Amino acid sequence: MRYMLSAAVTAAIAGAGFAASGPTAPQGTEWAANLTAIEACSCPMFCQCYFNREPAGHASHGAGHEAHGGATHFCRANLAYKINKGHHGATRLDGAKFWVAADLGADFGDGELDWGVLYFDKSLTPAQREAIGVVASKIFPVKWKSFRTEEATIDKWQFDKDGAHALLGGGKIAEVKLRRFPGMTDQPVVIRNLRYWGAPRNDGFLMMPNEIQTYRVGPNAFEFKGTNGFMITVDLNSKDFPS
């Protein structure tokens, strides 16, 4: 996701925390995944975390952004993924969905993020969850101060040329709704040649500020409107990560 974060990360994959519970897949299993994210965070457009080691500063009440000292720095985000085409060994992943709610914390330059929750869609089999754990650990080569996995239904995951909308648990757990940023023409605004987390390839960041992005459960619940949002498609496979 972040250029500076990617450069700083030295954590082993075992420390990423994304692996699903259950038997570990054999070393050397061939896999590939092409997946699209509907994503939003608390930073203003465009998220400064892609160019700095600390997120934007927020006023104490969590709604505004301030540049002066005393502001609290964080990047609270929802990342809703759908695998367009993928497999892990014989396990097919086409159409599989998962969701990450997270906070990068005040300073992620050491490759350690504050907290994260990975939600597997309830329709996924144990083998698919294990496979997603492998893929996610490569996209997010980081350590977490707090991390856990949950399951819930990703009720809606859809987009068109003007926007995108994703719901987790019918919106009772989380929601992301994006609206395309107007460009000089009717074509979308796209940022290219910018690294997304640990993924080796992407098709560019499609600019879509959020109408709302919210995580509604637990002590880390948050809600932001009008802040950063985008869509992106990434591609990676086992050959990209030799042992």
Q: What is the dihedral of CA 32, 38, 40, 46, to 10 degrees?
A: 80
Least confident of 24-38, 60-74, 170-184: 60-74
Q: What is the pLDDT of residue 64?
A: 41
Q: What is the pLDDT of residue 128?
A: 98
Model's pTM, two decimal places?
A: 0.86
Q: What is the pLDDT of residue 26?
A: 55
**Tally of helices (H runs) and strands (E runs) in the chain:** 2, 17
Q: What is the pLDDT of residue 110?
A: 85
Residue with tokens 């599989």: 96
For 17-29, what is the mean pLDDT?
A: 51
**Residue 208 or residue 69, greater confidence:** 208
Cis ω on the peptide bond leading into residue 46 (within 30° of 0)?
Answer: yes
d(CA 127, CA 22): 9
For 193-216, what is the mean pLDDT?
A: 97
Residue 71: pLDDT over 80: no
What is the chain's mean pLDDT, rounded? Answer: 87
137: three-class secondary structure by DSSP: helix
* CA neighbours closer than 13 Å in the CB half-sphere of residue 110: 9
Alpha helices (H) along the chain: 3-8, 126-139
Instruction: Check: CB of residue 50 under 8 Å from CB of residue 2.
Output: yes
Residue 152: pLDDT over 80: yes
pLDDT band at 197 (very low <50, low <70, confident <90, very high): very high
**Residue 94 or residue 24, greater confidence:** 94
Instruction: Check: CB of residue 228 under 8 Å from CB of residue 43.
Output: yes
Q: What is the pLDDT of residue 186?
A: 84
| 48-69: b (≥16 Cβ within 10 Å) or e | bbbebbbbbbbeeeeeeeeeee
